[in-house]
Amino acid sequence: MLRVKNLRVRIHGKAILDAISFCVQQGQTLCITGESGSGKSSLLRALNGLLPAEFERLAFHPKTSEPSELKGRWQGAPGLPGSRWVMQDPIAALNPKLPLGVSIGESVFSKSLSATELNDAVSEAMSDVELLPGLAVRRPSEVSLGQAQRACLARALVARPELIFFDEPLSALDAIVQKQVAATMRRIQMRYGTTFIIVTHDLGFAATYADHVLVLRNGKVEANQSAGNFFKSPESRYCEELLLAATELGGLPEVVPATQGPEVARSC
Amino acid sequence: MTFQTQAGFSEETDLKKTKHGKDLNRFLFRLGTMVLCVLAVAVTGFLLSPYAPNSPDFLNRLSPPSQAHWLGTDQLGRDVATRLLYGGIWSIGLAFLITFAGAVMGTMIGLVAGHFGRVTDVALMRVTDSFFAFPELVAAVTIAGVLGPNTANMVFALILVGWMKFARLVRSLGIDLVHRDFVVQARLNGLPSTLILWRHILPNIGPSLLVLWTNAWSRSILSISGLSFLGFGVQPPNAEWGAMLLDGKAYMQTAPYLMIFPGLAILSCVLAINLAGDRLRDLLGSNAVGTEK
């Protein structure tokens, strides 16, 4: 549903991202990983038109909303229509002066719903992410980090996107909350068949979660494999090192569970 | 980044923040009450006073403070205490009006400069810079002098020389906020830029604006008194603290209380507002960025 061909970002003549190509199927999870500074977050920003990127082709075909086709430079307002983005630091991603409910509701601003419709949509999204309805009137400083991240998740969800970008969605949270939020993410994906693109440096998380793994290194694609293949036989020497390091640190489970659904043809 | 610590101590910081918020609300409430009280005292005192501020009484010229005239009378026999209260309403009220208008004007210019393209930004900030280049009081004297010395022209002149600080502050804070995650999210969610400014930028600049505004308010009281003292502001026979100083100047040797009391009024008023502003800055803490001066 999302197909990216030869994405390139150059800032001040220096290529930050170069020759990035990948695709994601409907309902699947793509984990983008790599060391710090490898361009993971820049890739998300480029895909949302927040960086001056050039595409040979960017095609996004959601089922319910308008498809986006793009060649060359990004034009118009930032953001792929039909997608939403959950950021790393939930406190920074929420306006400190606005109640959570208002922040969540802003996500469907363009649909110009009536007040009751908006209320219903917000409370449904909040119950989807297991937030108590009473929290809608709280401000970000009055809730825990986990609740704030759930509110960000609800903000993405209320727009019924078919694709959600996550930028290190769990790294601001402690282990227990990480587990809970990850479970919520999974439940949402099961329920709505949403496609996830997750930037993470936690290979353990990727191992249990991803259908497909994209490894970046210095702004280039180092590996682009299905998760099963990647964790058994990574494409390159660098990926082996990466996996080895993660195993030594205990971030990676010994046995990689095969969590993917039926094998889908991945011809990217 | 310090995500680890944030996660670990989230409960504690939450508590601190709410307590902090309560302190702030209490302070703002007290400040508001105090300002209202001062105004109420001034208005009722002025209304209850048996004397009219501008009616002369030639039998009691230049009488020193007494039971009948607590702060004495001036060269036309007008009661100084009544004039002081009456003049206070002018000084404080006009300063409020001037800084409020300046803040609104500066905020709008700052927001537009920061968010509607580079050309607009450069153009508006060069205009701001050129306004900054004039010494405040000299420019105000010139404008008020050219237009004719009266209260309305003084207000206009002081608004014209007072908005630039607001514009600079709002522009720089706004540009900083634009790159924050929650504003990026709002843009991605398709909010129009006017709504982003109104909902996301402006409320987060508010605290800093408030601190700058208290500062501007007290300075403005000084400017009004200064201009009136020089004869460009509130005109006789109307009372205003600066105008009273001017009136009393000729009798400095024989009736010093004509200058002492208006001077004390200006001093205490400016000091009070400045102290309130300092406390406000402390309470707003890191929220009020860019107002260290």
Residue A124 domain boundaries: 94-160
Mutating which of B173, B185, B193, B195 best tests the A interface, going by the most A Cβ atoms within 10 A? B185
pTM, entire model? 0.81
Mean pLDDT of chain B: 84
Helix B257-284 and helix B10-48, axial crossing angle in degrees, nearest 10: 160
CB interface of A with B, residues 104-143, below 8 Å:
106-107, 109-110, 141-143
Nearest to B246 by CA among B229, B267, B225, B266: B229
Domain count, chain B: 1
Residue B283, pLDDT > 70, answer yes
What pLDDT is attached to residue A242?
87
Please report whether residue A155 resides in a domain.
Answer: yes
Residue B67 counted as domain residue: no
In the sheet with A53-60, reading across from the earlier edge strand, the strands are A14-24, A2-11, A53-60, A68-73
> In this predicted model, what pLDDT tens digit does every residue of B16-68 receive, in sequence order?
455 666 777 788 888 888 878 887 887 888 888 888 888 888 888 888 888 88
Report the gap between the CA of B212 and the closest CA in chain A (Å): 20
Task: Say what the pLDDT of residue A236 is.
Answer: 85
Complex ipTM above 0.85? yes
Q: Is residue B274 part of a domain?
A: yes
Q: Which residue among A78, A89, A173 sits closest to B187, beta carbon to beta carbon?
A: A78
Per-residue b or e along B76-102, where b marks 16 or more CB atoms closer than 10 Å to that residue's CB: bbbbbbbbbbbbbbbbbebbbebbebb
Residue A121: Cβ-neighbour burial (10 angstroms; 0-12, 13-18, 19+): buried
User: Would you say B201 and B177 are in contact if contact means Cβ atoms under 8 Å apart?
Assistant: yes
Q: What backbone phi and psi angles, to 5 degrees, belong to A231?
A: -80, -15
Q: Looking at the complex, does the CB of residue A227 fall below 8 Å from at least one CB of chain B?
A: no
Cβ-contact B228, B242 below 8 angstroms: yes
Q: Check residue B235 and give its pLDDT.
A: 87
Q: How far apart are CA A63 and CA A1, in angstroms?
A: 9
In a domain, B187, yes or no: yes
Beta-carbon separation of B185 and A78 below 8 A: no
Q: Establish how many alpha carbons lie within 13 A of residue A12's alpha carbon, considering only the half-sphere containing its beta carbon.
A: 0
What phi, psi does A185 have (nearest 5°)?
-60, -45
Question: How many Å lie between the alpha carbon of B10 and the closest alpha carbon of chain A?
Answer: 7
Give a yes or no: residue B216 inside a domain. Answer: yes
Q: Which residue has the tokens 């803490």?
A: B285
Is B57 within the bounds of a domain? no
The residues near A262 (Cβ < 8 Å, ≥ 6 apart) are none
Owning domain of residue B148: 87-287
Which pLDDT score, from 0 to 100, does residue A254 have?
A: 54
Per-10-residue mean pLDDT, chain A, length 268: 90 89 92 89 91 90 84 86 92 93 92 90 94 92 92 94 93 89 93 93 88 92 90 86 83 53 45
Examine residue A24 and state whether it is found in any structural domain, yes or no. Answer: no
Tally of domains within chain A: 1
At A241, the amino acid letter reads E
Among the partner residues A97, A142, A177, nearest to B18 by beta-carbon distance: A142
Q: What value does the mean pLDDT take over residues B141-163?
A: 91
Contact B14 A141 (CB under 8 A): yes
CATH of the domain at B239: 1.10.3720.10
Answer whether residue B44 is part of any domain: no
- Cβ neighbours around B257 below 10 Å, total: 18
Tell me the nearest-neighbour CA distance from B215 into chain A, angstroms.
24
| pLDDT classification of B197: cutoffs 50, 70, 90 | very high
